Amino acid sequence: MNATEESRKKPSHPPVGIDLGTTYSAAAYVDHTGRPICIPNDMGEVLTPSAILFDGNDVVIGKEAVRCSVTDPAIFAECFKRDVGSDHYRKEVHGVSVPPEVLSALILDRIKQDVIRQLGSLDEAVITVPSFFDERRRRATQEAARMAGIRVQDIINEPTAAALAYGFNQGLLRESASDRPVKVLVYDLGGGTFDVTILKIAGRHFQTLATDGDVQLGGRDFDERIFNYLAEQFLESQGVDPRSDAGDCAQLWLDAQQTKHSLSERSRINVVVSHAGIRERMVVTRQTFEKISEDLLSRTESTTRLVLNQAEIEWDDIEHVLVVGGSSRMPMVTEMLERLSGKSVNRTLSPDEAIAWGAAIYASVLTGKKHDEKQAPFNVVNVNSHSLGIVGRDAKTRRRMVQCVIPKNTPLPHVVQRKYPTMYADQRSVAIRVVEGESTNPAQCSDLGICEITDLPPGLRQGETVLVQYRYETNGLISVSARMPVVRRTAAVEIRHAQTTNLDSLAAWRDRIRRGVVEAQPQPGQAPEADLKKEPLVEDRQQQLSRLDDLYVLVGQIVLDHPAPRKLRKSHEMAAKAVQSAESVQAELANLLAQQEGAQTSADRIRVYTGLAQIKEQLQTVENQARYSLIQLGRDSHQTDSLPDGCDEHRREIDQLRTILQ
């Protein structure tokens, strides 16, 4: 993408970039001199903890929420960025199930208010994401911004934003800058995610060569090692476990975080652990911390080596090693990188602010604002962090396989067109299932959605050509179009996901949570609920839809246990395969968990932990696919009146809900 292109609508404020972090978030703007500046929150701090406390009708965000997590852990939420775009995680708040996109939107809304207080308004912004975020997570981040009332100018990868901040700091964005190519490795260890990216900077041209990472690895995992170490030491000496009490557990977690921070400056620290009326002072040394988290650091080392191999370069080709993300301050990170690279780590950038700075710089050029006559246009070329493929059948084995269409680390934007034959004569529709991932097994890839051409005329021959075009944008979003020249039919979609959560406005979610508080807590002077003659509460539309889907799943599971009628054969077969895939991955996960117990060496632990991270993502995907296919089977069974015996009660409830929803 050429960063000199103007946005569709000129904002009424300076260019703004937002670093929506797992543990901390920040916003920056470019002032009238062209310099990026972070915006302080109402406490005068540039970092706002990405933490939320649902205190009655109040939604408390930031440091106060973290402080109160000790006394009210049940109504506290944090680290939800890891689950954004996921269908399996929701936070229960006063009886209301809140998805991670809504929680992220609440953080963005808080950031928005801070920006408005400083700049007067906020119409649009560039938002950063980990480079290893897949397409689903990127769309979910856009959805969170929409809910917060922020128009997304563009999405930029966090390491790329850091490289832009580095380029600004080094004067590379000026007309007089040298065009001598410089290769830079950006090691980004944040609170909840980890990325490594290699970029080639040639004057004002920033090109990503390779990227990799882990969205389930970050500073929080290092905190957890200290947390469990302290708890186990206390349990061994006192015979009681501080993790068994919610309040003591929350306090111990805060102590573990502070211990990690202190050990970046000191070689040892005293920690007081309290539980069940017992207080014990413990000593934690930096050496102990590094030993108990050795496998986590080794995972980042393995990823760093992998990215160099993917970029097909050696350490001698790397001129600078940049570190960003608060957790990169740990001395063991510096020691590991300097051992690997033979170079001093470049710490000229603030690990906490660099990503927000880079996002603001990128927003500045997207808006066409030029604050410095010596500042020149620049180009940013990203790569895709996951391969894009489609699911088809192998001509020989007839098994479903993934064919890679756009390989991982392909420069973006990228457009490719492929030809495919229809599978059989008189085919009435063509469905292209699009996935992300590196495996040839569809069950081990992330299902993005389907592009479908329907209502084809009868009599088409087997082998008719279908032309499919795939477009992978710079910001990681994907669109697919399919065309059949013989019948002049076309389908063009931005990926239609197999499951998409319909999210209301942020105001509607706030109101829903407030209603949950009222229903959970009777007003003063109100009689106990058992003494009141109350009408049954009417569920809102979203809850009704969710209940309807749950009923379809129940029905689908019952139908699977019976022979398939002819009119259900297709959906029955699809559901059976999806459920079988989910069970297979669940068995693989159980096997890895068993291996985890017996892992003795660092190499074994690294292999198992890496496998667990991958299999958990696969499990999420296949479980979503299984649920979706069961919903479809249950719906088809109901619509064709093919429900087996024992479903009468389910049929009545489905009919009632469908009547209400019409």
**Residue-wise pLDDT tens digits, 34-93:** 899 999 999 999 999 999 999 888 899 999 998 888 778 888 999 999 889 877 678 888
pLDDT for 609 equals 57
Instruction: Reply yes or no on whether the pLDDT at 467 is more than 90.
Output: no
Instruction: Reply yes or no on whether the pLDDT at 366 is more than 50.
Output: yes
C-alpha 389/C-alpha 416 separation (Å) is 11
- The pTM assigned to this predicted structure is 0.72
Residues 274-312 have pLDDT tens digits of 999 999 999 999 999 999 999 999 999 999 999 999 999
pLDDT for 173 equals 62
Instruction: Reply yes or no on whether the pLDDT at 496 is more than 70.
Output: no
pLDDT for 495 equals 54
| Mean pLDDT score, 568-595 | 77
C-alpha 551/C-alpha 226 separation (Å) is 43
What is the domain partition of the chain in residue ranges? Answer: 16-217+302-381, 388-494, 538-661
Q: How confident is the model at residue 519 (pLDDT cuts 50, 70, 90)?
A: low
- Give the dihedral sign, CA 482/486/487/488: positive
pLDDT for 315 equals 96
Instruction: Reply yes or no on whether the pLDDT at 96 is more than 80.
Output: yes
Instruction: Reply yes or no on whether the pLDDT at 461 is more than 60.
Output: yes
C-alpha 189/C-alpha 192 separation (Å) is 8
pLDDT for 604 equals 56
Pair 346, 322: CB distance under 8 Å: yes
Q: Centre a 10 Å sphere on the Cβ of residue 176 and count the other Cβ atoms it contains.
A: 8
Instruction: Reply yes or no on whether the pLDDT at 373 is more than 60.
Output: no
Q: How confident is the model at residue 428 (pLDDT cuts 50, 70, 90)?
A: confident
Whether the bond between 73 and the residue before it is cis, its omega within 30 degrees of 0, is no
C-alpha 42/C-alpha 44 separation (Å) is 5
Name the residue among 616, 638, 634 with its Cα closest to residue 626.
Answer: 634
| Mean pLDDT score, 179-208 | 90
pLDDT for 4 equals 42
Mean pLDDT check: name the lowest of 262-266, 356-360, 572-576: 572-576
Strand partners, 134: none
CATH architecture of 16-217+302-381: 2-Layer Sandwich (3.30)
| Mean pLDDT score, 465-470 | 86
Residues 591-638 have pLDDT tens digits of 777 666 565 554 555 556 556 666 766 676 677 677 777 887 878 787
Say whether domain 388-494 belongs to CATH 3.20.20.80: no
Q: Which residues of 218-246 are buried (b: 16+ CB within 10 A; e: fewer)?
A: bbbbbbebbbebbbebbeeeeeebbbebe
Contacts with 252 (C-beta within 8 Å, 6 or more apart), sequence order: 227, 230, 231, 242, 243, 273
